[in-house]
């Protein structure tokens, strides 16, 4: 299978809200809707970005898990491409890896050849957790995640976006048994970035040195003695995580995919491959889909989004869609270098203040903090600025541009990666 080079236009009626509004995927919501839902920008009009065509699945294009109710309208989702049998896996229902808003992940292992005994994880929608509209939502986002992983895998195998092999979890396939659907992935050893933050916040010393050292070792970086310059080590860790995440976003943008839920809980530090892997594509939006024409997986007014990481526009800007994830990645990266916001409660307070008072302007926030005029300055904020400023201030400027309020001013994943590579080339490995 290969990814063809054709293109499709966006469906002009792709977005359907819970209140029955229909807005154009080419031009986005109206200014009145923007004001109502917190957006500040007049969305840019123009031709949509074009993306590589992903070939349709070999099966007939039947609707899969499509549901319509009085309060929801779910876009059609193509059928599965990669199928496996759940009977080929031993699922440990008593060993929960994670519980999300729309699904539960369990430990599992493969019990048949090839790759017998392969450590895996199995994700499903437990019916006992949901009912009514919530169950329909969960099944819909489960179908979105399955479709997204199908597209990522087929384009990895074709070589179209080969870098995603390193920056996403290996997807094995979809299976259904006894009325329950499952998604199976290879289990990569390590903690999520949120788990690393949680351990750092709970550390008795509270100085964050163990956090940086542990994260550096998980990434395969050489950790100097304790009395060495920790600022340099923190900067190297920051650059490595930022580089891997931006590589993933560039791969997603080539697929026409916006993750929409980039946050530390969805970032795994793979200790075996020393890689950063992006997890959980259930909130993803595909901006151009062959045969189906419409945006798949996107309804901003009831779609899942973490308020602490979602960018100010809240909607995907039709002309600058991938800047959405850039903002979320930058907010996640701030927690690496500022010890005082590694705790999720402190970060939530910082995120609210950063948006409501400073319009996510990092330069303005930093100037007020240095002048002693900022409220709720997190512990270690000055240390974080030292890491970003370095000798030339380029890393600080990169972060500032990734956090700009307006999506048309914010850096794209490709541009952010180019600038980061220039900075990274000046830092010893």
Q: Whose CA is closest to 365, among 392, 328, 338?
A: 338
What class has domain 193-278+305-424?
A: mainly alpha
pLDDT at 334 over 80: yes
263 is in an annotated binding site: no
Q: Which two tokens stand for residue 48?
A: 């949509």
Q: What percent of the chain has pLDDT over 70?
A: 76
- pLDDT category at 12 given cuts 50, 70, 90 is very low
Q: Whose CA is closest to 164, among 50, 264, 254, 53?
A: 254
Range of weakest confidence among 2-11, 211-220, 273-282 = 2-11
Instruction: List for the chain the helix, strand, coil content (%; round to 5).
Output: 40, 15, 50
Average pLDDT over the chain, rounded to whole?
A: 80
**Reported pTM:** 0.81
Per-residue b/e over 317-352, b at no fewer than 16 CB within 10 Å?
bbbbbbbbbbbbbbbbbbbbbbbbbbbbebbebbbe
Spell out the domain ranges in the chain.
Answer: 86-186, 193-278+305-424
Number of CB atoms found within 10 A of residue 354's CB: 23
Q: Which two tokens stand for residue 167?
A: 């920056």
- Extract the runs of DSSP E, i.e. beta strands, from 168-308: 171-177, 180-186, 257-258, 267-270, 275-278, 285-286
What class has domain 86-186?
A: alpha beta
pLDDT at 63 over 50: no
pLDDT at 321 over 60: yes
- pLDDT category at 327 given cuts 50, 70, 90 is very high
State the Cα–Cα distance between residues 262 and 120, nearest whole angstrom.
22
């Amino acid at each position: 299978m290969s990814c063809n080079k054709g293109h499709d236009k966006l469906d002009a009626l792709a977005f359907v809200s819970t209140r029955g509004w229909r807005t154009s995927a080419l031009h986005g919501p109206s200014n009145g809707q923007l004001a109502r839902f917190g957006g500040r920008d007049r969305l840019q009009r123009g031709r949509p970005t074009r993306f590589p065509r992903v070939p349709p699945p070999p099966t007939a294009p039947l609707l899969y898990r499509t549901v319509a109710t009085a309060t929801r309208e779910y876009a059609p989702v193509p059928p599965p491409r990669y199928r496996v049998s759940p009977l080929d896996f031993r699922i440990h229902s008593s060993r929960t890896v994670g519980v999300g808003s729309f699904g539960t992940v369990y430990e599992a292992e493969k019990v048949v050849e090839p790759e017998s005994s392969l450590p895996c994880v199995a994700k499903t929608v437990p019916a006992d957790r949901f009912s009514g509209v919530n169950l329909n939502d969960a099944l819909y986002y489960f179908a979105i995640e399955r479709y997204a992983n199908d597209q990522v895998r087929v384009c990895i195998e074709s070589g179209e976006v080969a870098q995603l092999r390193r920056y996403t979890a290996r997807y094995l396939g979809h299976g259904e048994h006894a009325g329950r659907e499952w998604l199976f992935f290879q289990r990569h050893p390590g903690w999520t970035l949120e788990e690393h933050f949680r351990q750092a916040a709970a550390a008795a010393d509270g100085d964050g040195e163990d956090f940086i050292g542990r994260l550096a070792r998980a990434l395969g970086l050489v950790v100097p003695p304790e009395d060495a310059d920790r600022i340099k080590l923190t900067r190297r860790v920051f650059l490595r995580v930022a580089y891997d995440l931006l590589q993933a976003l560039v791969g997603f943008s080539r697929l026409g995919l916006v993750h929409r839920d980039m946050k530390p809980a969805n970032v795994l530090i793979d200790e075996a491959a020393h890689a950063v892997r992006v997890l959980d594509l259930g909130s993803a939006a595909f901006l151009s889909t062959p045969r189906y024409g419409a945006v798949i997986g996107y309804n901003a007014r009831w779609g899942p989004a973490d308020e602490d990481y979602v960018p100010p526009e809240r909607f995907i800007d039709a002309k600058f869609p991938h800047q959405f994830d850039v903002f979320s990645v930058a907010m996640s990266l701030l927690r690496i270098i500022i010890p005082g916001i590694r705790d999720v409660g402190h970060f939530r307070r910082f995120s609210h203040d950063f948006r409501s008072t400073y319009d996510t302007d990092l330069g303005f926030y930093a100037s007020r903090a240095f002048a002693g005029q900022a409220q709720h300055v997190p512990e270690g904020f000055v240390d974080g600025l030292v890491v970003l400023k370095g000798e030339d201030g380029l890393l600080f400027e990169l972060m500032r541009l990734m956090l700009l309020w307006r999506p048309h001013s914010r850096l794209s994943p490709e541009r952010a990666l180019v600038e980061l590579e220039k900075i990274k080339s000046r830092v010893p490995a």
